[in-house]
Every structure is written in structure tokens, then in C-alpha cells.
Amino acid sequence: MNLYGCAGAPYGISIATQYQVLDQANNPMKSTAMVPQEEITNIIFNGTKQQDQFPQWHHIGPTPYPGTSLNTDTNGQFFDAPFGTCTSGFFVETSQQKISMLFKGINYVVRTSQWTITGGPLAGHGSVKNDNGDVNLSH
């Protein structure tokens, strides 16, 4: 995981996370034929339900972040970047993210995370963590 930054917004955090696609036996799936997609739903911002950001499957990449692409790389890895929230004031946001691999026209859900993202309590600070316990970053 790497900090990506919050350009133009003093509160929050944005990160880049590299994922490895695994098969059912926990072995890396080394293929460039998979397209990482996501659904981001159930967004609660400062206690208020928000409109779902991506209620239907949406490509994770490419984005302006270096190393992102439409497909997984030759090792079956991909970057989800930027991921986070940046605003002008203190906040707490929760959401659900499902990640799937689009392969031969079928979406295979490979991961579901409940996220908590905060901005503050002071400008220049933020944190992001998931319920899976494998992402927990702050600055």
C-alpha cells in the first residue's frame, strides 16, 4: 500500500493497494486475461446515507496512478488506486466494496471489504482501514 495523496483537499486519505488474484487453492493466478471490477455501495458519510458510487460493476483501472491498467498483469496482480476520500473538513465515511474479476464475460467476486475512512481530526490527517484487517493506513 502506498499513500496517493489528497490534492486540493486538506482532510482525508487516498491510497494505492496492489492485489494478487488467487485460485481456490490460494495459488497466484498468473493471467493477463482478467479485468478487475468493483462495486462501491452502502456509503455512509458523517452519519448520512449517500448515493452508491458504483452500484454496478465498474472497471478499477486504468487511472492516472502509475501502474494501473485495465487488466491484471502477467503475475495476476493489479493496483486499486486511488482509493479513499478527500474533502474540505473532518469526516467519517463507511462503505462496502466488492471486487470481482471479469473473465470471459462472467464476474467472479473475489473480495468483499467494509471500509472506514476518516479525515482529520486536523487538516493533513486521514486514515483508511477495512474489516479484513489487511489494510490499515494513516497519516
The CATH code of the domain that includes 102 is: 2.60.40
Return the closest-CA partner of residue 85 out of 115, 121, 42, 51: 115
pLDDT in tens, 62-74: 999 999 999 999 9
Q: Which domain holds residue 97?
A: 2-138
Collapse the DSSP code of 9 into the 3-class scheme (helix H, G, I; strand E, B; otherwise coil) and give the result. coil
Q: Provide the domain count of the chain.
A: 1
Q: Which amino acid is at 41?
A: T
Task: Dihedral sign for Cα 57, 64, 27, 33, please.
Answer: positive
Q: Is the pLDDT of residue 129 over 80?
A: yes
Collapse the DSSP code of 137 into the 3-class scheme (helix H, G, I; strand E, B; otherwise coil) and give the result. strand
Give percent of the chain above pLDDT 90.
Answer: 90
pTM attached to this predicted model: 0.93
The pLDDT of residue 1:
60
The pLDDT of residue 4:
64
In this structure, the number of other CB atoms found within 10 A of the CB of residue 89 comes to 12
